[in-house]
Amino acid sequence: MKTDGGYTIKAGWMVDGRGRGIQENVLLEIAQGRICRCDATPGVDGGVSDFDLSDCMLIPGLIDCHVHLFMSGTADAAVREWQLNALYGRMQAVIEKHLNQQRACGVAAVRDGGDYAGHVLRFQQTRPPGGHPAVTVHTAGRAWRSAGRYGRLIGRPPGTGQNLAQAVMANHEGVDHVKIVNSGLNSLKTYGKETAPQFPLEELRAAVQVAAYQKRRVMVHVNGREPVRQSLAAGCHSIEHGFFMGADNMRRLAESQVFWVPTACTMQGYAKHAAPGSREADIARRNLDHQLEQIRQARALGVKVAVGTDAGTIGVHHGSAVREEIQLLLAAGYHIPEVVQCATQHGAALMGLPRAGVIAPGYRATLLALPGGPQVFPANLATPVWFMIDGQTVFDHRF
Protein backbone atom coordinates (compact mmCIF):
# COMPACT_ATOMS: atom_id res chain seq x y z
CA MET A 1 0.00 0.00 0.00
CA LYS A 2 1.48 3.33 -1.04
CA THR A 3 2.11 5.91 1.68
CA ASP A 4 2.61 9.55 0.68
CA GLY A 5 4.65 8.67 -2.38
CA GLY A 6 6.54 5.91 -0.55
CA TYR A 7 5.90 2.20 -0.17
CA THR A 8 5.56 -0.53 2.42
CA ILE A 9 7.56 -3.66 3.17
CA LYS A 10 6.32 -6.66 5.12
CA ALA A 11 8.92 -9.02 6.60
CA GLY A 12 8.45 -12.30 8.45
CA TRP A 13 11.49 -11.69 10.66
CA MET A 14 13.74 -8.72 11.28
CA VAL A 15 17.13 -8.27 12.96
CA ASP A 16 17.51 -4.51 13.22
CA GLY A 17 21.30 -4.26 13.66
CA ARG A 18 21.29 -3.01 17.25
CA GLY A 19 22.19 -6.35 18.83
CA ARG A 20 18.72 -6.91 20.23
CA GLY A 21 16.27 -9.76 19.73
CA ILE A 22 14.68 -11.03 16.54
CA GLN A 23 11.31 -9.46 15.73
CA GLU A 24 8.52 -11.15 13.79
CA ASN A 25 5.86 -9.87 11.39
CA VAL A 26 7.32 -6.43 10.82
CA LEU A 27 5.84 -3.68 8.67
CA LEU A 28 8.10 -0.92 7.31
CA GLU A 29 7.25 2.27 5.48
CA ILE A 30 9.85 3.84 3.22
CA ALA A 31 9.83 7.35 1.77
CA GLN A 32 12.58 9.35 0.05
CA GLY A 33 15.18 6.68 0.75
CA ARG A 34 14.54 6.63 4.51
CA ILE A 35 12.65 4.40 6.89
CA CYS A 36 9.73 6.38 8.27
CA ARG A 37 7.90 3.61 10.14
CA CYS A 38 8.90 0.27 11.64
CA ASP A 39 6.27 -1.72 13.54
CA ALA A 40 6.31 -5.28 14.81
CA THR A 41 2.81 -6.71 14.67
CA PRO A 42 2.89 -10.35 15.87
CA GLY A 43 -0.08 -12.29 14.67
CA VAL A 44 -1.24 -9.57 12.30
CA ASP A 45 -0.68 -9.84 8.56
CA GLY A 46 -0.33 -6.06 8.12
CA GLY A 47 -2.52 -5.99 5.01
CA VAL A 48 -1.25 -5.55 1.47
CA SER A 49 2.35 -4.39 1.06
CA ASP A 50 4.38 -3.29 -1.94
CA PHE A 51 7.18 -5.72 -1.08
CA ASP A 52 5.93 -8.93 0.54
CA LEU A 53 8.89 -10.50 2.33
CA SER A 54 6.80 -12.41 4.83
CA ASP A 55 8.82 -15.57 4.21
CA CYS A 56 12.12 -13.72 4.60
CA MET A 57 14.45 -12.41 7.29
CA LEU A 58 15.24 -8.70 6.92
CA ILE A 59 18.57 -7.23 8.07
CA PRO A 60 20.42 -3.99 7.29
CA GLY A 61 22.69 -4.05 4.25
CA LEU A 62 26.01 -5.69 5.13
CA ILE A 63 29.28 -3.78 5.65
CA ASP A 64 32.77 -5.24 5.12
CA CYS A 65 35.24 -3.14 7.08
CA HIS A 66 38.42 -4.58 5.57
CA VAL A 67 38.83 -5.31 1.86
CA HIS A 68 41.41 -4.85 -0.87
CA LEU A 69 39.44 -4.19 -4.03
CA PHE A 70 42.48 -4.42 -6.29
CA MET A 71 43.05 -8.09 -5.46
CA SER A 72 40.96 -11.22 -6.07
CA GLY A 73 40.68 -14.13 -3.67
CA THR A 74 42.06 -16.52 -6.26
CA ALA A 75 44.96 -18.82 -5.45
CA ASP A 76 46.18 -18.60 -9.07
CA ALA A 77 49.71 -17.23 -8.69
CA ALA A 78 49.78 -15.80 -12.22
CA VAL A 79 46.58 -13.81 -11.68
CA ARG A 80 47.78 -12.50 -8.33
CA GLU A 81 51.12 -11.44 -9.79
CA TRP A 82 49.36 -9.64 -12.64
CA GLN A 83 47.10 -7.77 -10.20
CA LEU A 84 50.14 -6.69 -8.19
CA ASN A 85 51.71 -5.05 -11.23
CA ALA A 86 48.85 -3.99 -13.53
CA LEU A 87 48.38 -0.39 -14.61
CA TYR A 88 45.21 1.47 -13.69
CA GLY A 89 43.60 1.10 -17.11
CA ARG A 90 43.53 -2.66 -16.66
CA MET A 91 42.54 -2.54 -13.00
CA GLN A 92 39.31 -0.58 -13.42
CA ALA A 93 37.42 -3.66 -14.59
CA VAL A 94 38.88 -5.75 -11.75
CA ILE A 95 37.73 -3.27 -9.11
CA GLU A 96 34.28 -2.97 -10.69
CA LYS A 97 33.98 -6.77 -10.79
CA HIS A 98 34.77 -7.00 -7.09
CA LEU A 99 32.20 -4.32 -6.26
CA ASN A 100 29.61 -6.23 -8.29
CA GLN A 101 30.44 -9.34 -6.27
CA GLN A 102 29.95 -7.38 -3.06
CA ARG A 103 26.64 -5.98 -4.30
CA ALA A 104 25.38 -9.43 -5.31
CA CYS A 105 25.92 -10.63 -1.73
CA GLY A 106 24.05 -7.73 -0.16
CA VAL A 107 27.09 -5.71 0.87
CA ALA A 108 26.24 -2.00 0.91
CA ALA A 109 29.58 -0.53 2.00
CA VAL A 110 33.24 -1.52 2.07
CA ARG A 111 36.32 -0.08 3.77
CA ASP A 112 39.36 -0.54 1.55
CA GLY A 113 42.77 -1.00 3.18
CA GLY A 114 44.87 0.30 0.31
CA ASP A 115 46.93 -0.84 -2.64
CA TYR A 116 50.46 -0.18 -3.87
CA ALA A 117 49.47 2.28 -6.60
CA GLY A 118 46.34 3.91 -5.20
CA HIS A 119 44.19 2.30 -7.90
CA VAL A 120 41.09 2.08 -5.72
CA LEU A 121 41.39 5.74 -4.72
CA ARG A 122 41.63 6.77 -8.36
CA PHE A 123 38.65 4.55 -9.21
CA GLN A 124 36.62 6.10 -6.41
CA GLN A 125 37.49 9.66 -7.41
CA THR A 126 36.64 9.11 -11.09
CA ARG A 127 33.65 6.81 -10.61
CA PRO A 128 30.82 8.01 -12.86
CA PRO A 129 27.43 8.68 -11.26
CA GLY A 130 24.30 6.80 -12.20
CA GLY A 131 23.75 3.14 -12.96
CA HIS A 132 22.98 0.68 -10.18
CA PRO A 133 22.80 2.00 -6.62
CA ALA A 134 26.44 2.23 -5.68
CA VAL A 135 28.22 0.30 -2.96
CA THR A 136 29.77 2.91 -0.66
CA VAL A 137 33.57 2.75 -0.83
CA HIS A 138 35.93 4.35 1.66
CA THR A 139 39.60 3.86 0.88
CA ALA A 140 43.00 4.55 2.38
CA GLY A 141 44.55 4.99 -1.05
CA ARG A 142 48.05 3.76 -0.23
CA ALA A 143 48.97 2.55 3.23
CA TRP A 144 52.02 3.68 5.19
CA ARG A 145 54.75 1.22 6.19
CA SER A 146 58.32 1.41 7.45
CA ALA A 147 61.10 1.16 4.84
CA GLY A 148 62.28 -2.41 4.46
CA ARG A 149 59.29 -3.89 6.31
CA TYR A 150 56.16 -5.75 5.19
CA GLY A 151 53.52 -3.85 3.23
CA ARG A 152 54.84 -3.18 -0.27
CA LEU A 153 51.73 -4.60 -1.94
CA ILE A 154 49.43 -2.15 -0.13
CA GLY A 155 51.53 0.94 0.44
CA ARG A 156 54.82 2.81 0.73
CA PRO A 157 57.18 4.23 3.36
CA PRO A 158 57.44 7.94 4.22
CA GLY A 159 59.69 9.91 1.87
CA THR A 160 63.37 10.55 2.45
CA GLY A 161 63.83 12.72 5.53
CA GLN A 162 60.17 12.39 6.56
CA ASN A 163 58.79 10.78 9.66
CA LEU A 164 55.36 9.16 9.59
CA ALA A 165 53.46 12.20 10.86
CA GLN A 166 55.11 14.45 8.27
CA ALA A 167 54.23 11.99 5.53
CA VAL A 168 50.59 11.85 6.61
CA MET A 169 50.45 15.66 6.81
CA ALA A 170 51.98 16.06 3.34
CA ASN A 171 49.57 13.64 1.69
CA HIS A 172 46.87 15.51 -0.26
CA GLU A 173 45.42 12.58 -2.20
CA GLY A 174 41.96 12.90 -0.66
CA VAL A 175 41.83 9.57 1.17
CA ASP A 176 38.91 8.65 3.42
CA HIS A 177 41.02 7.24 6.24
CA VAL A 178 44.67 6.54 7.01
CA LYS A 179 46.07 3.00 6.93
CA ILE A 180 49.27 2.24 8.83
CA VAL A 181 51.11 -1.09 8.81
CA ASN A 182 52.63 -1.59 12.25
CA SER A 183 53.72 -5.23 12.29
CA GLY A 184 54.52 -8.09 9.97
CA LEU A 185 52.34 -10.87 8.64
CA ASN A 186 51.23 -13.94 10.55
CA SER A 187 53.74 -16.70 9.98
CA LEU A 188 52.64 -19.93 8.33
CA LYS A 189 55.99 -21.48 9.23
CA THR A 190 56.25 -20.76 12.96
CA TYR A 191 53.11 -20.83 15.08
CA GLY A 192 52.52 -17.70 17.12
CA LYS A 193 55.56 -15.84 15.80
CA GLU A 194 55.40 -12.13 16.66
CA THR A 195 57.20 -9.29 14.91
CA ALA A 196 58.39 -5.92 16.22
CA PRO A 197 56.37 -2.73 15.67
CA GLN A 198 57.23 -0.91 12.46
CA PHE A 199 57.16 2.56 14.03
CA PRO A 200 58.19 3.97 17.44
CA LEU A 201 55.27 4.81 19.71
CA GLU A 202 55.77 8.59 19.62
CA GLU A 203 56.01 8.61 15.83
CA LEU A 204 52.84 6.57 15.56
CA ARG A 205 51.03 8.77 18.09
CA ALA A 206 52.03 11.91 16.20
CA ALA A 207 50.71 10.43 12.96
CA VAL A 208 47.37 9.62 14.60
CA GLN A 209 47.17 13.21 15.86
CA VAL A 210 47.84 14.56 12.37
CA ALA A 211 45.13 12.30 10.96
CA ALA A 212 42.73 13.57 13.63
CA TYR A 213 43.55 17.15 12.61
CA GLN A 214 42.63 16.12 9.05
CA LYS A 215 39.41 14.56 10.43
CA ARG A 216 40.52 11.10 9.36
CA ARG A 217 40.51 7.90 11.35
CA VAL A 218 43.44 5.50 11.47
CA MET A 219 43.14 1.79 10.74
CA VAL A 220 46.25 -0.15 11.70
CA HIS A 221 47.41 -3.52 10.40
CA VAL A 222 48.84 -5.09 13.51
CA ASN A 223 49.50 -8.50 15.05
CA GLY A 224 51.26 -9.51 18.25
CA ARG A 225 51.25 -8.23 21.81
CA GLU A 226 53.68 -5.31 21.65
CA PRO A 227 52.57 -3.91 18.25
CA VAL A 228 48.92 -4.00 19.36
CA ARG A 229 49.71 -2.47 22.77
CA GLN A 230 51.61 0.32 21.08
CA SER A 231 48.88 0.93 18.49
CA LEU A 232 46.27 1.27 21.21
CA ALA A 233 48.51 3.60 23.22
CA ALA A 234 48.94 5.76 20.10
CA GLY A 235 45.18 6.21 19.76
CA CYS A 236 44.53 4.27 16.54
CA HIS A 237 40.83 3.91 15.82
CA SER A 238 40.72 0.25 14.81
CA ILE A 239 42.88 -2.81 15.26
CA GLU A 240 42.96 -4.76 12.00
CA HIS A 241 43.69 -8.49 12.35
CA GLY A 242 45.07 -8.48 15.91
CA PHE A 243 46.22 -12.09 15.89
CA PHE A 244 48.08 -13.12 19.05
CA MET A 245 47.39 -9.79 20.76
CA GLY A 246 46.94 -11.42 24.18
CA ALA A 247 44.51 -10.97 27.07
CA ASP A 248 45.92 -7.66 28.31
CA ASN A 249 45.35 -5.99 24.95
CA MET A 250 41.88 -7.49 24.76
CA ARG A 251 41.06 -5.79 28.05
CA ARG A 252 42.51 -2.54 26.71
CA LEU A 253 40.27 -2.84 23.66
CA ALA A 254 37.23 -3.32 25.86
CA GLU A 255 38.11 -0.34 28.06
CA SER A 256 38.88 2.00 25.16
CA GLN A 257 35.99 0.82 22.94
CA VAL A 258 38.37 0.91 19.99
CA PHE A 259 37.03 -1.31 17.22
CA TRP A 260 38.58 -4.69 16.49
CA VAL A 261 38.33 -6.16 12.98
CA PRO A 262 39.55 -9.77 13.45
CA THR A 263 39.57 -10.97 9.78
CA ALA A 264 39.51 -14.58 11.00
CA CYS A 265 38.50 -15.93 7.60
CA THR A 266 41.97 -15.14 6.24
CA MET A 267 43.37 -18.15 8.06
CA GLN A 268 40.46 -20.27 6.94
CA GLY A 269 41.32 -19.32 3.36
CA TYR A 270 44.99 -20.17 3.80
CA ALA A 271 44.13 -23.49 5.45
CA LYS A 272 41.88 -24.48 2.55
CA HIS A 273 44.45 -23.64 -0.12
CA ALA A 274 47.63 -24.91 1.52
CA ALA A 275 48.80 -28.38 0.54
CA PRO A 276 46.85 -30.99 2.54
CA GLY A 277 48.85 -32.20 5.50
CA SER A 278 51.45 -29.45 5.09
CA ARG A 279 52.96 -27.42 7.91
CA GLU A 280 51.36 -24.30 6.40
CA ALA A 281 47.88 -25.87 6.52
CA ASP A 282 48.38 -26.97 10.12
CA ILE A 283 49.63 -23.59 11.32
CA ALA A 284 46.89 -21.70 9.45
CA ARG A 285 44.30 -23.86 11.20
CA ARG A 286 45.98 -23.31 14.60
CA ASN A 287 46.13 -19.56 13.92
CA LEU A 288 42.40 -19.64 13.18
CA ASP A 289 41.62 -21.59 16.34
CA HIS A 290 43.60 -19.10 18.42
CA GLN A 291 41.80 -16.17 16.79
CA LEU A 292 38.42 -17.76 17.48
CA GLU A 293 39.39 -18.06 21.15
CA GLN A 294 40.33 -14.37 21.16
CA ILE A 295 36.95 -13.57 19.60
CA ARG A 296 35.24 -15.52 22.39
CA GLN A 297 37.14 -13.40 24.90
CA ALA A 298 36.18 -10.24 23.04
CA ARG A 299 32.50 -11.07 23.27
CA ALA A 300 32.77 -11.81 26.99
CA LEU A 301 34.58 -8.52 27.63
CA GLY A 302 32.32 -6.35 25.47
CA VAL A 303 34.91 -5.47 22.81
CA LYS A 304 33.38 -3.66 19.83
CA VAL A 305 33.92 -6.05 16.92
CA ALA A 306 33.25 -5.08 13.30
CA VAL A 307 33.11 -7.59 10.48
CA GLY A 308 35.99 -7.30 8.04
CA THR A 309 37.28 -10.05 5.79
CA ASP A 310 40.54 -8.91 4.15
CA ALA A 311 38.85 -9.86 0.87
CA GLY A 312 41.49 -10.24 -1.81
CA THR A 313 43.62 -12.52 0.34
CA ILE A 314 44.02 -16.07 -0.98
CA GLY A 315 40.73 -17.90 -0.52
CA VAL A 316 38.89 -14.79 0.69
CA HIS A 317 36.48 -13.75 -2.05
CA HIS A 318 34.72 -10.42 -2.28
CA GLY A 319 31.14 -10.56 -1.05
CA SER A 320 30.89 -14.20 -0.05
CA ALA A 321 33.65 -13.77 2.55
CA VAL A 322 31.27 -11.73 4.72
CA ARG A 323 29.13 -14.83 5.17
CA GLU A 324 32.23 -16.85 6.10
CA GLU A 325 33.36 -14.29 8.68
CA ILE A 326 29.86 -14.20 10.16
CA GLN A 327 29.89 -17.99 10.40
CA LEU A 328 33.17 -17.84 12.31
CA LEU A 329 31.80 -15.27 14.76
CA LEU A 330 28.82 -17.53 15.36
CA ALA A 331 31.21 -20.43 15.96
CA ALA A 332 32.97 -18.26 18.54
CA GLY A 333 29.75 -17.83 20.50
CA TYR A 334 28.06 -14.76 19.06
CA HIS A 335 24.27 -14.87 18.78
CA ILE A 336 22.46 -13.88 15.59
CA PRO A 337 21.49 -10.33 16.69
CA GLU A 338 25.05 -9.73 17.92
CA VAL A 339 26.73 -10.92 14.75
CA VAL A 340 24.34 -8.91 12.56
CA GLN A 341 25.26 -5.86 14.64
CA CYS A 342 28.96 -6.56 13.99
CA ALA A 343 28.24 -6.70 10.25
CA THR A 344 26.01 -3.61 10.12
CA GLN A 345 25.76 -1.03 12.92
CA HIS A 346 29.35 -1.47 14.09
CA GLY A 347 30.61 -1.24 10.52
CA ALA A 348 28.62 1.92 9.90
CA ALA A 349 29.98 3.47 13.08
CA LEU A 350 33.57 2.57 12.21
CA MET A 351 33.22 3.98 8.70
CA GLY A 352 31.41 7.09 9.94
CA LEU A 353 28.32 6.44 7.81
CA PRO A 354 25.45 8.62 9.03
CA ARG A 355 22.06 7.05 9.79
CA ALA A 356 23.19 3.66 8.48
CA GLY A 357 23.49 0.08 9.69
CA VAL A 358 20.19 -0.01 11.61
CA ILE A 359 16.56 -0.66 10.68
CA ALA A 360 14.67 2.10 12.49
CA PRO A 361 12.74 5.27 11.66
CA GLY A 362 15.01 8.00 10.33
CA TYR A 363 17.67 5.59 9.09
CA ARG A 364 18.63 4.99 5.49
CA ALA A 365 16.52 2.35 3.75
CA THR A 366 19.40 -0.02 3.02
CA LEU A 367 17.91 -3.45 3.55
CA LEU A 368 18.70 -7.07 2.74
CA ALA A 369 16.15 -9.90 2.66
CA LEU A 370 17.28 -13.49 3.19
CA PRO A 371 15.09 -16.52 2.40
CA GLY A 372 13.61 -18.26 5.41
CA GLY A 373 13.99 -17.31 9.03
CA PRO A 374 16.69 -17.32 11.69
CA GLN A 375 16.75 -21.11 11.74
CA VAL A 376 18.59 -21.13 8.38
CA PHE A 377 20.98 -18.26 9.15
CA PRO A 378 23.75 -17.78 8.04
CA ALA A 379 23.32 -20.31 5.22
CA ASN A 380 20.65 -18.06 3.70
CA LEU A 381 23.27 -15.31 3.25
CA ALA A 382 24.41 -17.34 0.23
CA THR A 383 21.10 -16.76 -1.56
CA PRO A 384 19.77 -13.27 -0.74
CA VAL A 385 16.48 -12.62 -2.49
CA TRP A 386 16.08 -8.85 -2.30
CA PHE A 387 18.39 -5.90 -1.71
CA MET A 388 17.79 -2.18 -1.44
CA ILE A 389 20.27 0.69 -1.05
CA ASP A 390 18.90 4.07 0.04
CA GLY A 391 15.40 3.15 -1.06
CA GLN A 392 16.42 1.91 -4.53
CA THR A 393 16.04 -1.77 -5.35
CA VAL A 394 19.38 -3.34 -6.29
CA PHE A 395 17.99 -6.80 -7.06
CA ASP A 396 14.77 -8.74 -6.56
CA HIS A 397 15.05 -12.52 -6.96
CA ARG A 398 11.70 -13.41 -5.40
CA PHE A 399 10.03 -14.44 -8.64
Architecture (CATH level 2) of domain 62-351: Alpha-Beta Barrel (3.20)
Please give the biggest Cα pair distance in the chain. Answer: 69
Q: Is the pLDDT of residue 38 over 60?
A: yes
Cβ–Cβ under 8 Å, residues 372 and 53 = no
The confidence band for 127, taking pLDDT boundaries of 50, 70 and 90, is confident
The confidence band for 3, taking pLDDT boundaries of 50, 70 and 90, is very low
The confidence band for 399, taking pLDDT boundaries of 50, 70 and 90, is confident
pLDDT value, residue 80: 97
List pLDDT tens digits, range 345-354: 999 999 999 9
Q: Which helix (H) or strand (E) holds 78?
A: helix 77-83
In this prediction, what percent of the chain has a pLDDT beyond 70? Answer: 96
Q: Is the pLDDT of residue 123 over 90?
A: yes
pLDDT value, residue 2: 47
- pTM exceeds 0.85, yes or no: yes
In this prediction, what percent of the chain has a pLDDT beyond 90? Answer: 94
For the chain, the straight-line distance linking the first and the last C-alpha, in angstroms and rounded, comes to 20
Give the span between the Cα atoms of 22 and 334, in whole angstroms.
14
Which value, to the nearest 10 degrees, does the dihedral of the CA atoms of residues 300, 304, 305, 306 take?
A: 160
pLDDT value, residue 374: 98
Q: Is the pLDDT of residue 9 over 90?
A: yes
In 128-222, beta strands by DSSP E: 136-139, 143-144, 155-156, 178-181, 218-222
Give the span between the Cα atoms of 158 and 176, in whole angstroms.
19
Helix (H, G, I), strand (E, B) or coil at 146: coil
Segment 225-230 shows an average pLDDT of: 99
Q: Is the pLDDT of residue 1 over 50?
A: no
Domain residue spans of the chain: 7-60+357-396, 62-351
Q: List Cβ neighbours of 46 (8 Å cut-off, separation of 6 or more).
A: 8, 10, 25, 27
Q: Which helix (H) or strand (E) holds 25?
A: strand 23-31
List pLDDT tens digits, range 133-188: 789 999 999 999 999 999 999 999 999 999 999 999 999 999 999 999 999 999 99
What rounded mean pLDDT belongs to the chain?
Answer: 96
CATH number among 3.40.50.1110, 3.40.50.10490, 2.30.40.10, 1.20.210.10, domain 7-60+357-396:
2.30.40.10
Q: Is the pLDDT of residue 376 over 50?
A: yes
Q: Which residues of 215-248 are buried (b: 16+ CB within 10 A; e: fewer)?
A: ebbbbbbbbbebbbbbbbebbbbbbbbbbbbbee
pLDDT value, residue 49: 81
Q: What is the CA radius of gyration of the chain?
A: 21
| HSE (side-chain half, CA atoms, 13 Å) at 305 | 34
List pLDDT tens digits, range 241-279: 999 999 999 999 999 999 999 999 999 999 999 999 999
Cβ–Cβ under 8 Å, residues 183 and 221 = yes
